[in-house]
Amino acid sequence: MNKLENIPVQAKSDKKRTNPLARVFDELIQFCQSRSMFMLHYCTGCGAIELPPAMTSRFDMERLGIQPMVTPRQADILLVTGYVSVKTLKRVLLTYEQMQSPKYVIGICSCTVNGGMYWQSYATAKVLNEYMPVDVYIAGCMPRPEAVIAGLRRLMSNIENGKGDAWKDYYKRYDYYLGNQQHLFGDDWQTPVDVIGEAKFYGLEGEETYGEHTKILEQHQEPLEAQVMRVKL
């Protein structure tokens, strides 16, 4: 299986939803989703120090159904805790693109909102939602565990009310996000994830998915190939 074409992928069916109970089930699914979330905390800055008390017995995030998870591929929430340097931003984006939909991003601390105390640093990216869609920002330097929990509750209520769909924005307006990324990383920036292909798969490609920046990407993009597994002895 060295070629991508050989890997079976089932695309989304075009069948229309005819079941009258579909919306009821949607609400049930949203409720269940909001009560069972796995969180990947990308501890970029000092804000991460407030997470251990928020997760463990004192404030106990687990009573809300939120648990830490070790890998992006099995996580729902990406917590970016603190300043994001340009170098880190690359890694955050790689992490974000690996996560499965539906995925949510929470920016903790003032640094992710507007640069925070590092606003005049040449090395930090200032506004996180220029590079990836952010669901909830928790401001503060640093926010207390109560604030973290309040932010997570807001995310939960957003999901329950069907408003937690910022991840769709990444596919719908990929050109905008890619443009901001290229502005920092240069024109030859590409990730191993085929975002446009995923947008097609989810049926989320829109007019703003394509644009001048995706054209630049196409020029520089090396074709994605499945990795060959080798055992070195």
Dist. CA 61–CA 41, nearest whole Å: 13
Over the Cα atoms of the chain, what is R_g?
A: 19
Interacting stretch for other proteins, rule CB under 8 A, among 5-13, 24-32, 51-59, 107-115? 107-115
Binding of other proteins at residue 160 (CB under 8 A)? no
Identity of the residue, 80 or 196, whose beta carbon is nearer to other proteins in the bound complex: 80
Binding of other proteins at residue 45 (CB under 8 A)? no
Dist. CA 17–CA 67, nearest whole Å: 33
Interacting stretch for other proteins, rule CB under 8 A, among 12-20, 95-103, 114-122, 212-220? 114-122
* Of residues 75-94, those binding other proteins (CB under 8 A): 86-87, 90
CB of 40 to other proteins, least distance (A): 23
Dist. CA 66–CA 55, nearest whole Å: 8
Binding of other proteins at residue 115 (CB under 8 A)? yes
Report whether 47 contacts 82 (CB < 8 A): yes
Eight-class DSSP state of 225: -
- What would the two tokens of residue 155 be? 């995310």
Interacting stretch for other proteins, rule CB under 8 A, among 64-72, 110-118, 202-210, 212-220? 110-118
Dist. CA 7–CA 85, nearest whole Å: 36
Question: Which of 72, 101, 165, 185: binder of other proteins (CB under 8 A)?
Answer: 185
Identity of the residue, 73 or 87, whose beta carbon is nearer to other proteins in the bound complex: 87
Identity of the residue, 68 or 140, whose beta carbon is nearer to other proteins in the bound complex: 140
In sequence order, what are the beta bridge partners of 105? 78
Interacting stretch for other proteins, rule CB under 8 A, among 61-69, 71-79, 121-129, 195-203? 121-129
Residue 218, burial from CB neighbour count under 10 angstroms (0-12, 13-18, 19+): exposed
Binding of other proteins at residue 10 (CB under 8 A)? no
